[in-house]
Amino acid sequence: MGLIQNILAVIVVLGLLVTFHEFGHFWVARRCGVKVLRFSVGFGEPLWSTIDRHGTEFAVAAIPLGGYVKMLDEREAPVPEEQLDQAFNRKTVWQRIAIVAAGPIANFLLAIVAYWALFVAGTTTVAPVVGDITPNSPAAEAGLEQGSEITAIQGDAMRSWEEINLKLVSMIGFSGDLTIEVVPEGASVTRSYQLPLNNYMVRQDPPQPLQSLGFSPWRPDVPAVLGQVVDGQAAAEAGLQAGDRIVALNGEPINDWMQFVAVIRDSAGETLSVGYQRNGEAGTLSLTPRRNTLESGAEVGYIGAGAEPFSWPETLQREIRYGPIEAVGQALSRTGEMVLLTVDAIRKMLVGLISPSNLSGPITIAQISGDSARAGVEAFVGFLAYLSISLGVLNLLPIPVLDGGHLLYYFVEVVRGRPVSEQTQAIGLRIGLAMVGTLMLMALYFDLMRLW
């Protein structure tokens, strides 16, 4: 069932993103007087199509992993003389720039609208309160105390763990003192700490912003009650059911969920005696966690079960909400931050600060799409906005076959006063296809490695 949900979620996500992207090209092309022959969502044989009064065919194709807008163009097929003024290649260079740039811009606009909707509807988040601190870590050396609420990092206000993680990820490769401002537990005055860093998270796979600083988010004690059990996995095969409360493992008392998880992770392939309570009655059964290999090569136990949902104390819940007008500025700001973060991540990957194994392909996107859909509308819309920004930025890279490659040719044409030669464009096309193909294969390879 989870696989089907992932597939449906990624089809919805990619369908929306591709439709908006191609509609950007389509809308501006029409405004510039270019005849659009086909607007297709997906590749391959059309499953459905219709033709409008302008002669444009709108189609939904069988392979939902992309889309395209086909325009009248003399370079692709002969054009009747009476339609030459509607050919893309006959338009001014600035019109062609506008048409090509409209796709990525549409993705950014979609992200702005998504963030605006989230800010207007309001989001409830958890206060960023420091939990356990690792001995001899930067946090421990600086004297950071458990129970402190983080209010700012490097002078930027922080309201949630999401904002903190985004800020820390943007600082990959940083060396120096990281300034963290907190309000200690039970205090009302802000205190500042300096955490010494050297090449922060360089080539870490995957990046672990908080663990690298030496602390974790504070969490309330969660009872070891199963909220979900996956069919076909070790927990279900052993006879555990949703609602069961785990009270002991091999005779040792289990007090909370994290203690239960820790024992399971350390017991791959070992048979455990599990004491549990179900509907007020006690029972015992045998459970053998399966082996799950992490990217680091370490093996951990896995049983296919999740915790029962729990509620955070109201004192630690924060609501972020804005009026319709104020939310516009916030949405623009968040989109701009995410664009800069994505561009900076690409730069750091090229110079070797970020491991290329962090590339994600269709499998990872499908998994995250499914997870965000199951997590609720807020998570799904937030992921949609982030992916839309990523698609917009990647399409603007100056690689032939991408929108950015075409824009590069057109800006060269603006400077030179004449188009780039067909031969040069053909060579660039081969290079671009090779680069994009290599990136896709790498992303798929790392997807499969994560899956295994």
Distances (CA, A) of 107 to 4, 18, 104, 336: 26, 9, 5, 13
| Residue with the two structure tokens 């799409």 | 369
**Is the Cα dihedral 404, 408, 411, 417 positive or negative?**
negative
Rounded CA separation 386/377 (Å):
14
Q: Which two tokens stand for residue 404?
A: 């950015």
- The tokens 């129970």 sit on which residue? 147
Measuring CA to CA, which residue among 174, 181, 172, 109 is closest to residue 151? 181
Active site residue 22: yes
Quote the CA–CA distance of 323 and 120 in Å, as a whole number.
6
What distance in Å separates the CA atoms of residue 72 and residue 78, rounded to the nearest whole number? 9
Angle at the Cα of 122 (from 120 to 127), degrees rounded to 5?
145
Residue 50 CB burial class (10 angstroms; 0-12, 13-18, ≥19): exposed
Looking at residue 395, its amino acid is: N
Local structure of residue 214 (DSSP, 8 states): T
Furthest-apart CA atoms within the chain: distance in Å: 87
Would you state the structure tokens that stand for residue 187, as one six-digit string? 């205090």
Question: Which amino acid type is present at position 369?
Answer: S
Would you list the DSSP string of 44-92? EEEEEEEE-TTS-EEEEEEEEEEEEEEE--TTTS---GGGGGG-GGGS-
Per the residue annotation, which of 22, 149, 163, 181 is the catalytic one? 22
Residues 382, 114 contacting (CB under 8 angstroms): yes
DSSP labels, 402-440: SHHHHHHHHHHHHHHSSPPPHHHHHHHHHHHHHHHHHHH
- Kindly state the tokens that stand for 318: 């924060």
> Which residues are designated catalytic?
22
